[in-house]
């Protein structure tokens, strides 16, 4: 596994932990109104994770995990991703991207781990933040 891929994996773990805490809090509020357990098991965590990820990436190109690991998600020209790009990215990652990984694990990381299939599909790249930026 390449160094950048390892950083990305650590960032995802941090983001997942943050999302889990937020989900638990939101779930307590929703339990009064929605009694369906399947909703709380499937819909709430997915919506919360996507919403947190997209909001953070839209604002600064970084989630809390990306910031901690010194990564930024942006277009190749250095501009921040659009909402459409971010939606395409998360949808692809959690559907087709999983199949891509299972089919060809070797090619999944790309050249240096900066462009995975869901990044390529949405036209984005993950870069390490330099000190002079």
% of the chain at pLDDT higher than 70: 92
Domain count, the chain: 1
**Per-residue DSSP letters for 46-76?**
HHHHHHHHHHHHHHHS--HHHHHHTEEEE-T
Average pLDDT, the chain: 89
Q: 45-71: per-residue pLDDT in tens?
A: 999 999 999 999 999 999 999 999 999
> What is the pLDDT confidence band of residue 133, given thresholds at 50, 70 and 90?
very low
Eight-class DSSP state of 133: -
CB-side exposure of 24: number of CA atoms within 13 Å?
A: 5
CA-CA distance, 100 to 130, in Å (whole number)?
Answer: 31
- On whether residue 34 sits in a domain, the answer given is yes
User: What pLDDT is recorded for position 111?
Assistant: 67
Beta partners for 92? none
- On whether residue 10 sits in a domain, the answer given is yes
Tokens of 22: 């937020």
Distances in whole angstroms, Cα of residue 53 to Cα of each of 22, 33, 104, 132 = 12, 25, 26, 26
Task: Provide the strand spans (E) within the chain.
Answer: 71-74, 125-128
- On whether residue 133 sits in a domain, the answer given is no
- On whether residue 94 sits in a domain, the answer given is yes
Q: What are phi and psi of 109, to 5 degrees?
A: -75, -20
- On whether residue 57 sits in a domain, the answer given is yes
Parent domain of 28: 3-128
- On whether residue 89 sits in a domain, the answer given is yes
Which residues are within 8 A (CB) of 20 and not within 5 positions of it... i.e. 6 or more apart? Answer: 45
């Amino acid at each position: 596994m390449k160094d950048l891929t390892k950083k990305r994996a650590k960032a995802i773990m941090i983001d997942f932990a943050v999302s889990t805490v937020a989900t638990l809090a939101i779930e307590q509020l929703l339990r009064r109104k929605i009694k369906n357990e399947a909703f709380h098991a499937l819909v709430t965590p997915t919506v919360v994770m996507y919403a947190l990820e997209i909001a953070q990436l839209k604002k600064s190109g970084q989630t809390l995990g990306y910031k901690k690991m010194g990564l930024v998600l942006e277009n190749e020209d250095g501009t921040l991703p659009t909402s459409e790009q971010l939606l395409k990215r998360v949808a692809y990652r959690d559907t087709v991207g999983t199949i891509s990984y299972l089919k060809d694990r070797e090619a999944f990381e790309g050249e240096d781990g900066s462009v995975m299939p869901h990044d390529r599909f949405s036209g984005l790249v993950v870069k390490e933040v330099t000190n002079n930026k």
